[in-house]
Structure 1
Amino acid sequence: MSTILKNLAWLLGGKGFGAVCSIVYLAVLSRSLGIKDFGHFSLIFGTGQALVAVAGFQTWQTMVRFGAQAVHEDNWPRFGRLVWFCGVIDAGGALVGCLLAYVIYFGFAEMLELNQTYIAMGFAFNCALLLARTTTPIGIVRVLGRFDVATYVEAIVPTGRLLAAFAIVLVGANVGRFLIAWAAIEILSAIVYWIAAWRLAPQAMRREHFGGIAQAARENPGVRRFFGITYASSTLDALYKQGPLLAVGYFLGTSSAGIYRLADQLAQGFGKLSQLVSRAIYPEFAHARVVSEVGDFARLVRQVTVIAGIGGVTVTLAALAFGDDLLALIGGEGFARGGAVLIPLAIGAAFDLASASYEPVLHSTGHPSRPLIARSLAAVVLIGGIFAFEGYGPVGIGWAVALGMACSYLAMSLAVFTVLRRERTVQAGR
């Protein structure tokens, strides 16, 4: 528990610093480019993020889930083969993403209404973003428990963007210069992450371990299935976060979509806390499942779940008390009526936060398909809720989101309860 809290403190500190930097450099970027060019930049950057989500694999989860046993046993050759196995998967996903980027930019640029000047530039930037967003070194750092190192490395991106934004303004702002700077900073961050991982586990990162991909698959039974399930789960989660906004725009128009978007951004800000909690506990649960008895492991799960539940209740109360004021402060009085939308979205974020410990538990106990089933159920409920409640405006779709997250929370709770009870039964029968 103390290690989890320490990990969370490092993550919160790093994300807080990044948030402050991002507010400043986004203000500089938008003001210096103007609305039209900032729109081009946003379209290119947004396309890159979408491609990363579709073509990227969450290899850091695989490193933590299957690498914890090797680290515990000091079996560095096995750990090293797993590193290169995940690295090859990352590289393959990046290449597929580059092919998709080529099709999008050179095949559908007119449909995207993208300026011809930015087609080649946007394609090159997206390729750089895809090649830089590998998560294998992140998994190495996390499974070794070095969240302090991760915080320092991840500070490179917001710090670099902030400094680059001011420098570009001094020499003359344009879309190309911002894209070049953003791409260079992403690549630099990826290189530093790999160097940090190399220095933390030099005995694993030896050349003789490269090429043992087939052996790594044999040494880690279920790793291919785990890859497929976590990829599907993360992709489904990304679609769940973007789908409701598109539904508001389709059914209710752009003005309603704007109000919903601002409320959704605040709710997702609350929801990001659940991601930080999950990242902080993921490696500790993986280690605890290897070295602890089932009773001790279950006690740790209960402790973290109670803390996350308290956080979920706090998020809901904050939305009820300050939702209108926050929206008016950020967007003006016209957005204050979005406070009614923020309430169901915050409730959905609260369910997400309350279940932050569940996915690490199910992954560490060898049941990665359970979170995918829960998210699939949530998506079905969400789609049904959107069609049922769209007549009530953005608030109705907000309640569809809350209902979907509630179903996901209940399904995950049931899965964790069943798995832990089965683990106790197996241990008692030994």
Structure 2
Amino acid sequence: MKRLLRNIAWLLSGRAVNAILSLVYLALATRTLGIEAFGYFALIVALGQTVTGLANFQTWQFVVRWGANGEGPGEATGFAIALDGVSVILGALLAAGLVYSAQFWLPLPHDLLWVAFGYCIVSLIAIRSTPTGLLRLRFHYAEATFAEAVQPVVRAIGAGLAVVFMPTVLGFILAWAAAEIAVAIALWIVAARKEPIDLTQISLTKLPRDHPDAWRFVLSTNATGSLNVGAKQVMILLVGAIGGEAFAGGFRVASQLGQALVQLAQTISKAIYPELVHAKDDAVEIARRTANMALVGGTLAVLVAIFFGRWGLEAIAGPEFGVVYWTMVILAIAGAIELVGASLESLLVSANRAGTAFLARAIPMVLAFALLPVAMGWQGLKGAAFTVLGSSALAVLAFWAAILSLQQIKIVLEPKDGTPPDPA
């Protein structure tokens, strides 16, 4: 538990740097572009992150899962790098299809479509899940934090340069693209110094030959990762498709400020997953204690959003974004729920129940997307936020129910008195 808290502290310190600098580049982008042009910017970034999220195979989990054995991470790393190559190819095809069709369903000007495609390709090339997994496998969270800090620093510098030399959507997209490339290079350099990478191990067949469940785990974790992307990026795209670019820009700001807790939840999930893989027998207790701490932190964060959110919105993004205050508060509540559920989801994945975790997220998210047009017709951006809140609440309840079922099965199979289980 001490190591877990230390690792979370390192990750949170990185998030703190990211949060502070994100306020800087968010303020520069919103105040320079205005709500409509910022909406175009938000849609392009959402397209890039959607493509990357759907194509990315969450290879860091494979490196942690199969690299933790006595053979070392060489074979797992080779498998992960091979999957990253597959991600780039599949993602490029997906990007071409989405960007070409965007003219029919997204409010993006024609001259920005090529910008959107270019940003998608850069985001795919900058996939950095594998080096992140190598660093987490050996608990090098301090080094990972310093490497990941490159992204917000480059974004902030790039946003400042865009304001001065190219105060357009293209200028800010170039800044974001440069940050993606920079952080990927930094993570690969740090990971290679800590764990030599044997390029001869790159293969899609070696690891699955030794681990028959490999492809099932790959597909289930990829599906779960895709759903995590859908919770935010696809939602921004759909909000823009239904309400226009101004709605997309407003929802992006409200989401970035209100759902900072979701990023915190993902941070905790990334820190706790390696611990759960190594802990095994103590995994449930670690997850329970982490969830209790998350509940306290989430409650405090929601109170901050309620009492200081409107002032923060107008101070950072400008007075015209003050209308999304209640949207931000609703998303903050959803983020608090996700914060509590992060350790529960990680526990399911570490117990080889990634498919269960996927279904627990998939069904609520499908409902959220189905109800989005009705919800926006009812309450606009607040209605969209309510669908996110409902999806998060149902998913966490499903995680909890699944864990209770697993514990009951374990009690039946392993009686406390040590007697063999009844064959019946």
- Tell me the TM-score normalized by structure 2: 0.82
Deviation for aligned residue 1:314: 2.6
1:413 corresponds in structure 2 to: 400
5 Å-filtered alignment, 1:28-427, equals 28=28, 44-68=44-68, 70=69, 73=70, 75-76=71-72, 79-103=73-97, 107-108=100-101, 111=104, 113-116=108-111, 123-166=117-160, 182-202=176-196, 205-211=197-203, 213-242=204-233, 262-289=253-280, 294=281, 296-327=282-313, 329-330=315-316, 338-383=324-369, 386=372, 392-394=378-380, 395-427=382-414
Deviation for aligned residue 1:321: 4.0
Q: Is the 8 A contact 2:39 2:250 kept in 1?
A: no
1:21 corresponds in structure 2 to: 21
C-alpha distance in structure 2 between counterparts of 1:171 and 1:383, whole Å:
39
Deviation for aligned residue 1:382: 2.7
C-alpha distance in structure 1 between counterparts of 2:97 and 2:374, whole Å:
36
The 3 A distance-change label for structure 1 pair 88 and 266 is: same
Deviations 1:334-380 (A, max 9, x none): 76565444444333222211111012111111111111111123124
Q: Is the 8 A contact 2:364 2:392 kept in 1?
A: yes
Q: Per the alignment, in what secondary structure is the counterpart of residue 188 of structure 2? A: helix
Q: Is the 8 A contact 1:91 1:134 kept in 2?
A: no
C-alpha distance in structure 1 between counterparts of 2:246 and 2:115, whole Å:
32
2:355 partner letter: S
Percent of counterpart pairs with the same letter? 33
Q: Which moved more, 1:233-242 or 1:314-323?
A: 314-323
1:86 partner letter: A
1:409 partner letter: V
Deviation for aligned residue 1:330: 4.7
2:294 partner letter: A
1:50 partner letter: T
Q: Is the 8 A contact 1:311 1:354 kept in 2?
A: no
Deviation for aligned residue 1:307: 1.1
Q: Which moved more, 1:400-409 or 1:28-37?
A: 28-37
Mind listing any 5+ residue stretches in structure 1 that lack a counterpart? none
1:275 partner letter: Q
Q: Per the alignment, in what secondary structure is the counterpart of residue 278 of structure 1? A: helix
The 3 A distance-change label for structure 1 pair 125 and 273 is: closer
The 3 A distance-change label for structure 1 pair 109 and 6 is: same
Q: Is the 8 A contact 2:155 2:175 kept in 1?
A: yes
C-alpha distance in structure 2 between counterparts of 1:308 and 1:318, whole Å:
15
C-alpha distance in structure 2 between counterparts of 1:230 and 1:350, whole Å:
23
Q: Which moved more, 1:162-171 or 1:149-158?
A: 162-171
The 3 A distance-change label for structure 1 pair 187 and 210 is: same
The 3 A distance-change label for structure 1 pair 40 and 217 is: same
The 3 A distance-change label for structure 1 pair 412 and 158 is: same
The 3 A distance-change label for structure 1 pair 374 and 33 is: closer
The 3 A distance-change label for structure 1 pair 424 and 148 is: farther
Deviation for aligned residue 1:225: 0.9
C-alpha distance in structure 1 between counterparts of 2:167 and 2:245, whole Å:
30
Deviation for aligned residue 1:219: 2.3
Deviation for aligned residue 1:391: 6.0
Deviation for aligned residue 1:29: 5.6
The 3 A distance-change label for structure 1 pair 398 and 115 is: closer
Q: Is the 8 A contact 2:356 2:402 kept in 1?
A: yes
Deviation for aligned residue 1:140: 0.9
Deviation for aligned residue 1:240: 3.0
Q: Per the alignment, in what secondary structure is the counterpart of residue 21 of structure 2? A: helix
C-alpha distance in structure 2 between counterparts of 1:335 and 1:84, whole Å:
46
C-alpha distance in structure 1 between counterparts of 2:64 and 2:213, whole Å:
14
Deviation for aligned residue 1:421: 3.7
C-alpha distance in structure 1 between counterparts of 2:141 and 2:241, whole Å:
42
Deviations 1:245-272 (A, max 9, x none): 5666677777777665544433212322
Deviation for aligned residue 1:415: 0.9
Total equivalences in the alignment? 414
The 3 A distance-change label for structure 1 pair 225 and 182 is: same
The 3 A distance-change label for structure 1 pair 2 and 20 is: same
Q: Per the alignment, in what secondary structure is the counterpart of residue 187 of structure 1? A: helix
Deviation for aligned residue 1:149: 0.9
C-alpha distance in structure 2 between counterparts of 1:166 and 1:316, whole Å:
31
Q: Is the 8 A contact 1:286 1:360 kept in 2?
A: no
The 3 A distance-change label for structure 1 pair 239 and 81 is: same
